[in-house]
């Protein structure tokens, strides 16, 4: 059984590993704050991915836009399969590690 996390996303169909508490759908992890949509550029660490988001940045001096990029580390729950190149939606949560404060809640493509 999956619990409602307060965001309209499709819940995962797979069953989580027993004792997975760092899961917003089946564990005790609560979601709060910002949502971050981006593309996975690295997925080498266990249960952790690096997500990159591109956003245009406007420079008044040159009257042009530049590509701005920002990256975050996010935890992948045991019942989601995410690989490099996927577009995912990550939500802010409590700090899970030194640099991990987001959790993947949906794999879009």
> Where is pLDDT greater, at 55 or 3?
55
User: What's the pLDDT score for residue 20?
Assistant: 81
pLDDT at 2 over 80: no
pLDDT at 37 over 90: yes
Q: What percent of the chain has pLDDT over 70?
A: 99
CATH number of the domain to which 74 belongs: 2.40.50.1000
How far, in Å, CA of 19 to CA of 95, rounded?
A: 19
DSSP annotation of 53: E
Mean of per-residue pLDDT scores for the chain = 90
pLDDT tens-digit map of 62-83: 999 999 999 999 999 988 899 9
CA 15 to each of CA 18, 26, 59: distance values in angstroms, whole numbers, following the listed order: 9, 9, 47
Q: Which of 80, 34, 73, 82 is closest to 50 using CA atoms?
A: 73
User: What's the pLDDT score for residue 1?
Assistant: 60
Q: Which domain holds residue 45?
A: 1-109
Number of domains in the chain: 1
């Amino acid at each position: 059984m999956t619990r409602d996390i307060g965001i309209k996303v499709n819940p995962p169909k797979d069953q989580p590993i027993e004792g997975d508490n760092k899961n917003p759908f089946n564990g005790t992890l609560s979601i709060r704050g910002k949502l971050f949509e981006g593309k996975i550029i690295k997925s080498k660490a266990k249960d952790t991915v690096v997500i990159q988001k591109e956003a245009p940045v406007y420079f008044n001096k040159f009257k042009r836009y530049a590509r701005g990029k920002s990256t975050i580390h996010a935890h992948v729950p045991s019942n989601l399969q995410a690989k490099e190149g996927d577009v995912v939606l990550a939500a802010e949560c409590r700090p899970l590690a030194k640099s991990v404060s987001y959790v993947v809640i949906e794999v879009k493509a």
